[in-house]
Amino acid sequence: MIIVRTIAELQKKVAETKQQGKTVGFVPTMGYLHEGHLSLVNEAKNHDDFIVMSIFVNPLQFGPNEDFDRYPRDFERDERLAKSAKVDAIFYPDVKEMYPRELSSTITVHKGVNALCGKSRPGHFDGVATVVLKLFNIVQPTRAYFGMKDAQQVAVIENMVADFNLSVQVMKCATLREEDGLAKSSRNVYLSDEERSEAVQIYASLRQAISQIEAGERNPVMIKDQINDLLHSKTTGIVDYVEVLAYPSLNVIELIQGEIIIAIALKFSKARLIDNITVTV
């Protein structure tokens, strides 16, 4: 595994790789790696020959009340984990390498950001889209791998790729889960024992919603109401949102048809958990 800190060096390595007829898989991260990131690497290795992982804490996606400087960083640990997962190259630039001057152009995301988590983070997905477009242009990957745990981010990136006719293939990877179905998250450690036992109801309510749709339910309001009722009755958490939207547009729908996403955010005392599931009707 090599560690690359400059754009020029990475582009040279990628060009040499492609000249050998190899495909390039790309896993973008902000570091502080966990099982979810490593599962993306494993999936990339099933499809591509040379795996590039980026580790870059992107200042553009942090709002004024979000502390960029306090975001967890541990490159030595990340390096060990990436090496164990058999990543071929880590792209580890600093902010000056990625943004050597004040940007004269950025991406503004117009659709799909006023729902789900985007409602409380104005401008966040503009920063995400801008850095991902920059990374795509630097790495020139065959495929890029993203976890569906953050389905809104995946939707924004899918829409950007379509809007700008980018050649990269976006690979949507299933959410990594505990044996009882709870989506794996670093936030799970902040749950009390009681909250941890209740948290399984998030995925259970999503599965119940899918069963109702498979049985013929097409009214999104009915699905939302039933999820809310289950979470209120079986957990002590506070429902932040329950949404049934078109995917990947994230538009409000009156009838369940085509590809949709059912998404939940539930607040416990010290952790806000998100989960979702997509289905095509």
The annotation status of 121 as a binding-site residue, yes or no, is no
Radius of gyration of the chain measured on its C-alpha atoms: 20
The annotation status of 150 as a binding-site residue, yes or no, is yes
The annotation status of 232 as a binding-site residue, yes or no, is no
The annotation status of 258 as a binding-site residue, yes or no, is no
Q: Where are the alpha helices (DSSP H) in 99-181?
A: 124-139, 151-163
The annotation status of 222 as a binding-site residue, yes or no, is no
Question: Taking a C-beta distance cutoff of 8 angstroms, is the pair 195, 174 a contact?
Answer: no
- Beta strand pairing call for 169-173 and 50-55: unpaired
Question: Taking a C-beta distance cutoff of 8 angstroms, is the pair 165, 193 a contact?
Answer: no
The whole-angstrom separation of Cα 137 and Cα 158 is 15
The annotation status of 83 as a binding-site residue, yes or no, is no
The annotation status of 192 as a binding-site residue, yes or no, is no
Peptide bond into 248 cis (omega under 30): yes
- For residue 39 the two structure tokens come to 């599962």
The annotation status of 111 as a binding-site residue, yes or no, is no
The annotation status of 94 as a binding-site residue, yes or no, is no
Catalytic residues: 37
Q: What is the DSSP letter of 112?
A: S
Q: Which amino acid is at 257?
A: Q
Annotated binding residues for (R)-pantoate: 61, 153
Annotated binding residues for ATP: 30-37, 147-150, 176, 184-187
